[in-house]
Structure 1
Amino acid sequence: MWQIGCARTDITPPVGIWQAGFGARTSPSTGVHIPLHTTAFVIGDGTRTAVVCTNDLVGLSRPEIERIRALAAERCDGLDPGDILVCCTHTHSGPAVSTYLRGQPKDLGYIEWLCGAIAHTIVEAVGGMQPATLHRAEGRVEGFNHNRRDESGYCEKRLAWLEARDADGGVIGGIVNFTAHPTMLTGQNLLLSGDYAGVLTQELSRELDAPVGMLNGCHGNINAFPRAHTDLGIVEDHGRRLAAEVLRLRDGLVEVPDGDLDVRTRMVELTFGPPQPRALYEEIAADTEQPGYVNDWARDVLARYQGDPVDGSEQGEVMVIRIGDVAVIGIPGHAFAEVGRDIVAALPGLFVLNANHANDYLGYFGTREAHAEGGYEIEFAYRFNSSFRWAMDADTTERIQQACIDLARG
C-alpha cells in the first residue's frame, strides 16, 4: 500500500488586499465570495515522499516556491524540497502575490504569511500519512469550457480524478484535474474568490468530508464558459455541476496498482526570438501613453539584461511525479490545450494529470500555429507578469512539451 496524507487550510487574505489577474481593476477587494484554500496531497512508498500542493491563487513565482519548499522540508525529516510540486488554479479573483506580477500593489506581509501557511499545510499532510490505496477515474464533460481564441478550435474536455482511501475504505483526499481559466468572474468583481475552481473543490471537500485540490490542465487558450462577470450564482452553479460530474466518475474508480514512486525534473531553456535594440526598451519605459505596468516591465528588462541588443535565455523547471502508472506533470506556466492533448497522446498506458502554473509562473506556452496568428497570449501578456525580454517562442513550447514526455516515460 501507499502512504498518503492530505490537509487543507484557509489562506484567504484580509479584505482590502488587491486582487490579481485583471489589469483593469482600479480598486482593492471589498469582500469574500468563498474562502481561498491550499490543499496538500502527500504520497510515499516507504523510501521516498512526494508532495502535490494546489492553491487558490493566480500564480506563485520561483522565489515564493523556493521559500515554501525550504520551510516545509526543514520541518519534515526525509522530505527533499525538490520533491515538492506547488501549483495554482490561476483564479483571477485571488490576491496579488507573484513576485513578477505587475499592475496591483502587493501585501508583502501577507505573502510571507502565505508561504508559511502553505508549508504548514504540507507538514500537516506529512504528519497524517497512513496506509492507503489510490484510485483513478476519467471522463469527458461538455458545456463547461471553450477555446477562447477560436470557438471551432481544440478544447480539452477531459475530467480526471485521483482519490486516496484508508485501510477501511474511507476517503483521505482527492485531486481533480480539469482545464479552464478561472475567469468566470471578471475585473469588475471585487470579492475574493477561487472562481469556479474554488466552488468545485469546496463542494467536493464537503461531499467527501476530505481535502480536495484542483490541478488546472493546459488552459492557456481555454476559458470556463460562460462568463459570469459579477454574477456569483452562475459561478456557483458551474462549480457544483462540475463537482457532480466528478462524483459520477467515482462510480467507475479503478485502483492504481502498487508501484514505484519517482520524482523527475528538468531545467528547460526558455528562448524569446530575435534580440531587440536597447533603445526600444528605453522608449517603452519612457512612454507615458503606455500603462504603468508596461513601463515597469521595460525598466525591469533593462535592469535584468545587459548589452545592446538585449539578448539572453532563461530557465524553467518541468517536474513529473510518477506514482505507479499515474504521472502528475508540472508545467511552469499556462500551456495551450494542444500541448496537454499531445502530452497525453504520447503517454499511452499512463494516467496523466497535467498541472499548469507549477513551481513557477512564467506565462504562456503557445503552439507554433498560435505564434503565427499572434494575439494577447503571444504578443502582450508577458509584459504583465514577467521580467523576460520578450514573449517565449514556439521552440520553448516544444522543449517544454518534450521534457514532460521524456520525464514521464523515465
Structure 2
Amino acid sequence: MKIGAAAVEITPPVGLAMDGYGARIGGAAGIHDPLWARVLVAEGEDGTAIGLVMADLLQIEERLQGLIAAEVLRTAGIPRDRLQLAGTHTHSGPAFSEPSAAEEVVGRAITGAVAEAWAGRREAVAAVGIGTIDGIGANRRPNGGPLDDRVTVARFDDLSGQPIATLVNYGCHPTTLGPDNNLYSADFPGVACARIEDALGGVALFSTGPQGDVNPGGYSPEGSMVGVVAPWRTFESAGRYGAAIADVAVAVHRGLRPEPSARVWGSAAIVELRRKPLPDAGVAREAARAAAATAATIRAADLSPDATYHAVVAAAYAELIAGQAGDPQRDEDVAIRISALAFGPLVHLGVSGELFTALGQRIRAAVGDDRTCIAALCDGTVGYLPTADAFGVGGYEPNASVLVAGEGERLADAIIRLAQGAPAA
C-alpha cells in the first residue's frame, strides 16, 4: 500500500457571507485562524486508487464536488465512487451556496493538494487505535441521549518510520463559536490538527464523526437558531477543546505499532429515503407570517424574556417549515450518498448528512468498532438524520430534518451493508 498526504490553506477573502447560522448578521470581518483542506490518498498493489479530502467548510457543496472530482480523476485517476469530499462542519467558514470566484479558487487549491498527495505517495505501514475524551461533546436533545466519547486515530508512516499522516475522528458539532462570530475559524478541529502536526509531523486530518445530536457543552440549538449565544462559546474554549483532542490523539498515536497492509478499497452508493409529509406551501407561508407577526408583537410589548424567546423560536420553526414546504422537490424521495474507503486497517465511512450518535454506534458495532469510523457531512448533506424515537420527542433536529421517522435506521443498515463489502484487511 502506498499512502500520500498534503495540506493547503483555503481561507477566502474577507467580506464573504459565512455559513452555518441563519441568525448571523453580516459577512466575514476578519480571520482568526486559517482554513485548510487536508488530503489522504492511497494506492493498492493492483492500482486501486482512493482519496479523502477534509476541508474546513460547513460542507463541500455539490457544485464544488463536481469541479474537484473531475480534476482528481484526470490528475490522479481516482474515480468518484472512491473519493470522499467532506467538510469538518465548522460554522465559521465561507458560504458557497452560489457560484463565485472564491469557490473556484478553493476548488483549484483542493485539487492541487490531491495532485501533490498523489505525486508524493510512498510505501507505508498503518495502525488504528482508540482513545476516549470527556468534557467536550454533550448530547443536546431535550431528553438527553447517548454520547460517543471515542477518538479514533489512524497512523500512517513510511517504511523508514517517518510520519505521513494522522487521521482523527470524533463526533461533535464544531460549533464552539456561535452566530455572533464574524471571523473565519476552523474551530476546535483546526486547533487539534495544528497541534497534532506540531507534535508528530506529517499531515493531520480531522474527520467529524456522527454529531447530529451532539455539540460542545450541549447548548440549545434553538438558541443558536435565533441568535442567543452562551457566554462560554469563545475562541478560548475552541482552543481548549482542540488541545484536549490533540493530546488524546498524540497519546494513542505514540502507542500504535504500524504494520504493512495491502488493503486499498472503496465503494459508494445512493440510498433513496422517504421525505416527510409537509403542509401546503401557501398555508405554511401564511403560518410563518403569522408567527413572525406574533413574535414582533410580543417583543414590542416588552414581555418577559422567556415569552419573547419562545415566540421568536416558534416563528423560526414556522419559517423553517415554510421553506421545506416550498421546496420544488418536496414530493420526491431524498437521495443520500454513502461511501466506504479502506486505508489498510482503517475503514472510513462517509454519509452526506448529520447522523445521530446512536445510529453511528449501531453502524460501528455491526462492522467493527475498533477499526471503523464514520464521517458526517461527507459528499454534501441532506440535513439531519435522526433516530426514529427523536421524532416523537420533537425539537430542533427532527423539525429541521426532511425525512420520515425510521429512515435514519434504514440508512444505517444500508451503510452497514456497504461496509461489510470491504475485503479483509
TM-score (norm 2): 0.84
Q: Which residue of 2 aligns with 1:368?
A: 388
Within 5 Å, which residues of 2 pair with 1:244-283?
244-255=247-258, 258-274=261-277, 276-280=279-283, 283=286
Letter in 1 for 2:177: L
Matched, 1:233 2:236: yes
Q: Which residue of 2 aligns with 1:96?
A: 95
Q: Which residue of 1 aligns with 2:54?
A: 54
Within 5 Å, which residues of 2 pair with 1:158-307?
158-225=150-217, 229=232, 231-255=234-258, 258-274=261-277, 276-280=279-283, 283=286, 289=292, 302=326, 304-305=328-329
CA contact (8 A) 2:147 2:357 kept: yes
Higher mean C-alpha deviation, range 225-234 or range 258-267? 225-234
Within 5 Å, which residues of 2 pair with 1:297-336?
302=326, 304-305=328-329, 311-336=331-356
- Find the partner of 1:352 among 365, 372, 378: 372
1:31 CA drift (Å)? 1.3
CA contact (8 A) 2:54 2:86 kept: yes
CA contact (8 A) 1:270 1:314 kept: yes
CA contact (8 A) 1:220 1:334 kept: yes
Q: Kindly tell me: are residues 230 and 152 of structure 1, through their superposed partners in 2, closer, same or farther at Cα, counting changes over 3 Å?
A: closer
Secondary structure of the structure 1 residue equivalent to 2:368: coil
1:314 CA drift (Å)? 2.4
Secondary structure of the structure 2 residue equivalent to 1:289: helix
Higher mean C-alpha deviation, range 54-63 or range 286-295? 286-295
Whole-angstrom CA distance in 2 between matches of 1:339 and 1:127 = 37
Give the RMSD, CA atoms, in angstroms.
2.5
1:349 CA drift (Å)? 7.0
1:92-123: CA deviations, max 9, x gaps?
111112x3xxxxxx571211211221121111
1:278 CA drift (Å)? 4.6
Matched, 1:340 2:360: yes
Q: Which residue of 1 aligns with 2:412?
A: 401
Higher mean C-alpha deviation, range 294-303 or range 363-372? 294-303
Unaligned runs of 5+ in 2: 219-229, 294-314
Q: Which residue of 2 aligns with 1:69?
A: 69
1:130-171: CA deviations, max 9, x gaps?
111112111211112111115752111000111110111010
Whole-angstrom CA distance in 2 between matches of 1:252 and 1:303 = 50
Q: Which residue of 2 aligns with 1:103?
A: none
Whole-angstrom CA distance in 2 between matches of 1:392 and 1:9 = 36
- Tell me which structure has the larger Cα radius of gyration: 2
Whole-angstrom CA distance in 2 between matches of 1:231 and 1:335 = 25
1:35 CA drift (Å)? 0.5
Higher mean C-alpha deviation, range 327-336 or range 229-238? 229-238
Letter in 2 for 1:337: T
1:199-222: CA deviations, max 9, x gaps?
111111222222111110000001
CA contact (8 A) 2:10 2:34 kept: yes
Q: Kindly tell me: are residues 144 and 299 of structure 1, through their superposed partners in 2, closer, same or farther at Cα, counting changes over 3 Å?
A: closer
Secondary structure of the structure 1 residue equivalent to 2:75: coil
1:296 CA drift (Å)? 9.8
Q: How many residues align?
A: 388
TM-score (norm 1): 0.87
Q: Kindly tell me: are residues 232 and 151 of structure 1, through their superposed partners in 2, closer, same or farther at Cα, counting changes over 3 Å?
A: farther
Matched, 1:15 2:18: no
Secondary structure of the structure 2 residue equivalent to 1:29: coil
